Amino acid sequence: MRIETTININIETLKRIEAACHTLRISRSRLIAMLIECAMRERRDTSRMCRRVRYQERLDPAQWRKLHITLDAALYECMIDLRKIDKVSVSFILALSVQKHITALLLKGMNTNKTDNYPIINYIFSKTIVGGVISWRVFWGIPTNLPTLACEFT
């Protein structure tokens, strides 16, 4: 399943994305998916509790464009998780990923014969109750020790 959403993007960031798409000969949706995946892979302990969501720097409204994107459902859910964990808007997640990763993607190049554009195919959202307290676990893929994890809280 695919999910449509809209983000705000700075014109300069959009130009970098479009130039990279042209160079790599891939669609904008595919590059955006790759950039979100890069943001997910770099996760560190950056969670923020009891804080407001951070947004991109305010600029002249003429410097922004609304961008409609379509993502694989699992990738969309991971992106929303990043927003909640890091307390950063989805648009800001993409902008930061462009700053940090687009050059590396260009240098590395792409295997354009790759048929799996969205490698995050398994998204597990699990609820357990520990001592009367609800606990949620989110997996962005299938852990190799899933049977052990399944027994951990029982």
Please write the tens of the pLDDT for every residue from 19-71: 999 999 998 988 998 898 888 877 566 666 677 777 777 778 888 999 998 88
What is the maximum span of the chain, computed from C-alpha positions, in angstroms?
55
**Contact criterion met (CB below 8 Å) for 94 and 7:** yes
Give pLDDT tens digits for 70-94. Answer: 888 888 888 888 888 778 888 888 9
Interatomic CA distance for residues 65 and 26, integer angstroms? 21
By DSSP bridging, strand 2-10 and strand 64-72 are antiparallel
- Joined together, the tokens standing for residue 107 give 């240098």
Give yes or no for a contact between 138 and 81, defined as CB atoms under 8 angstroms apart: yes
CA–CA distances in Å: residue 55 to residues 7, 9, 38, 52, 70:
12, 11, 19, 9, 21
Closest CA to 2 of 62, 71, 48, 59: 71
Where exactly are the structural domains of the chain?
2-108, 123-152
